């Protein structure tokens, strides 16, 4: 099968659900994608300035612009569940050398349906049906739930600033490990206090001067303001007592969960019981029901699926169940299919004028083609 044939095959699977075909705007105002993309994706956005001087971005995926269509529909008073499907181009700088900058995503987005383990399982099963229809038999999948870590942290009863710091760190690659291993030094805390006491422009200049004095280059994708905010948050957490040893052990144990799918509930429950966090049992029960529903729909997940507690942070609009499917010799930055839940996205895009649950999934035909080639 060619990439074009793979795209057509996957499209047929999603079209049979009755979803409405769309091809939304190619160009978006940059503020939303920049805000809702994690650091790993933010550095790969295709950003430009239009003829009016506005900063714009080529759509980095299809979920954001399709969700924008749904937000407009709901804000106009047209209520009720809706589903969309697409086979359209997206644009991101490559995560791996052999990935293209312009690529096709074939997928679906569903809005206004119950936010339930059964709906999550159905979404994964639909994506899996498309993958297998494209002739992929040797596959593996990873799933996570972005609601689990915040629930655990809330249950620890830490100071609010410390809780917020850990939640923010969770959304960054390696962020939790950094917070647990590297408390800010006394000079860093003092600098944070100085920066917090002056105006933002002055704080930015003072921070850059401090970097120059120490010959430290600015690297990464965070702005100076974001770095200062992070430093201030760490300093505030230190002022509030930091992360106690027992909480540190609990967070470290949770962040390291990487188990076979059928072992998910027991792995999470063991940590909760050991640290007296029985209040989060309903969250664990929801995860367990989802895993059971997924295995019932696709039994091979019992052997080929894994749950990772720190999985799924490339786009920050995801807020619940997330998954990726891999095949062949492609690496962990090259899933052939992916999806997840984003129940807060519509409210965010509409400024609170509309609310709707959301879940979607996509197949990457170019990667499916390469995965099949590597297996032949």
pLDDT at 242: 64
Written as six digits, the tokens of 11 are 């499209």
* pLDDT(100) > 70: yes
Q: How far is CA 169 from CA 73, 126, 153, 303, 314, in A?
A: 34, 32, 12, 31, 13
User: What CA–CA distance (Å, rounded) separates 254 from 172?
Assistant: 16
- For 276-302, the pLDDT digits (tens) are 998 999 999 999 999 999 999 999 999
- 8 Å CB contact between 106 and 303: no
pLDDT at 218: 58
Higher pLDDT, 175 or 70: 70
- For 145-203, the pLDDT digits (tens) are 999 999 999 999 888 888 888 888 887 777 787 777 765 555 565 666 666 667 777 77
User: What CA–CA distance (Å, rounded) separates 111 from 134?
Assistant: 26
User: What CA–CA distance (Å, rounded) separates 25 from 28?
Assistant: 7
Confidence of residue 219 (pLDDT cuts 50, 70, 90): low
- 8 Å CB contact between 93 and 221: no
For the chain, strand residue ranges (E) read: 20-21, 27-29, 47-49, 55-58, 82-91, 102-111, 139-145, 258-260, 305-308, 321-327, 337-341, 358-363
User: What CA–CA distance (Å, rounded) separates 164 from 149?
Assistant: 12
* pLDDT(65) > 70: yes
17-28 mean pLDDT: 94
Report residue 182 CA to chain centroid gap.
Answer: 24
For 287-370, strand residue ranges (E) read: 305-308, 321-327, 337-341, 358-363
Domains, in order of start, for the chain: 3-23+58-146+312-375 (3.30.930.10), 157-245 (no CATH)
User: What CA–CA distance (Å, rounded) separates 172 from 310?
Assistant: 10
SS3 label, residue 59: coil
138-143 mean pLDDT: 96
**DSSP H or E run through 61:** none
Evaluate if pTM is beyond 0.75: yes
pLDDT at 200: 77
């Amino acid at each position: 099968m060619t990439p074009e044939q793979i795209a057509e095959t996957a499209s047929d699977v999603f079209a049979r659900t009755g979803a409405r075909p769309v091809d939304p705007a190619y160009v978006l105002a940059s503020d939303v994608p920049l805000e809702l993309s994690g650091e790993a994706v933010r550095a790969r956005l295709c950003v430009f300035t239009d003829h009016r001087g506005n900063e714009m971005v080529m759509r980095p995926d299809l979920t954001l612009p399709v969700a924008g269509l749904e937000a407009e529909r709901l804000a106009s008073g047209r209520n009720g569940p809706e589903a969309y499907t697409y086979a359209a181009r997206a644009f991101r700088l490559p995560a791996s050398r052999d990935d293209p900058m312009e690529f096709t995503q074939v997928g679906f987005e569903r809005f206004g349906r119950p936010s339930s383990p059964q709906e999550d399982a159905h979404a994964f099963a639909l994506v899996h049906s498309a993958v297998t229809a494209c002739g992929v038999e040797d596959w593996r999948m990873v799933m996570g739930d972005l609601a689990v870590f915040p629930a655990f942290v809330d249950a620890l009863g830490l100071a609010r600033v410390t809780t917020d710091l850990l939640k923010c760190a969770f959304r960054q690659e390696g962020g939790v490990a950094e917070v647990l291993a590297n408390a800010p030094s006394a000079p860093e805390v003092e600098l944070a206090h100085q920066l917090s006491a002056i105006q933002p422009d002055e704080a930015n200049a003072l921070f850059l001067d401090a970097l120059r004095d120490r010959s430290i280059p600015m690297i990464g994708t965070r702005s100076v303001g974001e770095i200062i905010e992070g430093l201030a948050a760490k300093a505030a957490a230190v002022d509030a007592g930091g992360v106690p040893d027992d909480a540190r052990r609990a967070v470290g144990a949770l962040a390291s969960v990487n188990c076979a799918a059928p072992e998910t509930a027991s792995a999470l429950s063991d940590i909760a019981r050991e640290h007296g966090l029985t209040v989060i049992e309903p969250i664990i029960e929801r995860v367990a029901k989802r895993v059971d529903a997924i295995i019932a729909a696709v039994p091979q997940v019992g052997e080929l699926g894994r749950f990772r507690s720190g999985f799924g942070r490339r786009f920050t609009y995801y807020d619940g169940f997330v998954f990726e499917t891999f095949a062949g010799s492609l690496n962990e930055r090259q899933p052939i299919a992916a999806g997840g839940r984003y129940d807060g996205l519509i409210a965010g895009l509409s400024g609170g004028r509309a609310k709707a649950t959301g879940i979607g999934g996509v197949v990457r035909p170019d990667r499916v083609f390469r995965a099949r080639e590597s297996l032949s």
